[in-house]
Amino acid sequence: MRDKCDSVVFMYDGDCGFCSKSVNFLLDNSDAESMKFCALQSEFSAEVFGEHGMEANLTSSYLLKNGKLHADSSAVLHAAALCRFPVKALSVFLIVPPFLRNFIYRSIAKNRHSISKYIADRCRIPTESEKKRFIV
């Protein structure tokens, strides 16, 4: 597993439309070297959570960075920090206490399936360079 995670890895619910749209947003706003992506349902994710003595929660997003596993709003904001400006500016919200950030995050996560109905739907076919950013 270590050979696959020498970079930052954003882990998400691969069966969630809202989560997939979030990954598309990160793909569009980050450089190829900045992060990779992996569904929480993958073997890679199972290994990561096993190493951290945790179980994946499908209502959460996670970011593996320098061996540390960030969850919920911290994962999203640390991922934003790896994006290009202006998305990078969202990382300023890391100064907000996690209990406040995660209250908002969990409210969105709880309603993510119904929210995704209101976001423009397009089926993305990843380019060859984008395919290299996914760990399957």
Task: Quick: pLDDT tens for 24-34.
Answer: 999 999 998 89
Task: Quick: pLDDT tens for 76-85.
Answer: 999 999 999 9
3-state DSSP call for residue 1? coil
pTM: 0.90
The closest of 70, 80, 68 to 30, measured between CA atoms, is 80
Residues 130, 136: Cα–Cα separation, whole Å: 13
Joined tokens for residue 33: 């070297």
Joined tokens for residue 10: 């954003």
